[in-house]
Amino acid sequence: MEWQEVCEHPILRDIPFKIETNKWGKIVMTPATNEHGLYQVLIIEWLLKLCEDGKPISECSIQTSDGVKVADVAWGSYEFYKKNKRSNPYMKSPEIVVEILSPSNTLQEMEEKKELYFARGAKEFWLCDKDGKMRFYTYYGALDKSEIVEAFPDRIDIYFA
């Protein structure tokens, strides 16, 4: 199936799974947890607070050499959105791509996704682990903090007072 067909298919519309495709166009599904959703929202809130020259997007579909991958969160500059408009999926990656490690993911899967996003033009890849610890990467390797959003915290706390 083409990505737009996957998005519009009535049977797939309301399932509680993240859907991606592999390089053969087969659908790959990953169950989502409430914790995962909270991390998405909190990362988006931080991006909205810290980045004035672009916008975050949740469930960002990106065409890769291994099918369509759906980043949990991405951040694109206004220039990115101006060039790519409402493409579905994006053929080029937004500047920042964020994945949240869930029980159904492995670090090896995230390493593979990281490389796929960099091949499509991502400037940074961020990984949030199950405890909210953030890891930041460029194409050249790991960073102590984001170079694009220097004030982004190194840990996201989902526990509310």
Angle at CA of residue 15, ends 11 and 21, nearest 5° = 80
Non-local CB neighbours of 22 within 8 Å, separated by 6+ positions = 28, 66, 67
CA distance 116 to 122: 9
Q: Which residue has the higher pLDDT, 55 or 109?
A: 55
What are the angstrom distances between the C-alpha of 149 and each of 45, 59, 106, 107? 13, 20, 26, 23
Share of the chain above pLDDT 70, in %: 84
Q: Residue ranges of the alpha helices (H) in the chain? A: 3-8, 34-50, 78-84, 107-119
pLDDT at 56: 98
Does 4 map to a domain? no
Q: What is the CATH number of the domain that holds 108?
A: 3.90.1570.10
User: Could you read off the pLDDT of 112-135 as tens digits, one per residue?
Assistant: 999 999 999 999 999 999 899 999
> Could you list the residue range(s) of the whole structural domain that residue 131 is in?
32-143
Closest CA to 90 of 132, 45, 120, 114: 120
Bridge partner list, 100 = 128
Share of the chain above pLDDT 90, in %: 68
Does 149 map to a domain? no
User: Could you read off the pLDDT of 26-71 as tens digits, one per residue?
Assistant: 767 676 778 888 999 999 999 999 999 999 999 999 999 999 999 9
Could you tell me the pTM of the whole model? Answer: 0.85
Does 152 map to a domain? no
Does 113 map to a domain? yes
- Number of domain units in the chain: 1
Does 64 map to a domain? yes
99-114: average pLDDT: 89
Does 122 map to a domain? yes
Does 15 map to a domain? no
130-154: average pLDDT: 96
Residues comprising the chain, all counted:
161
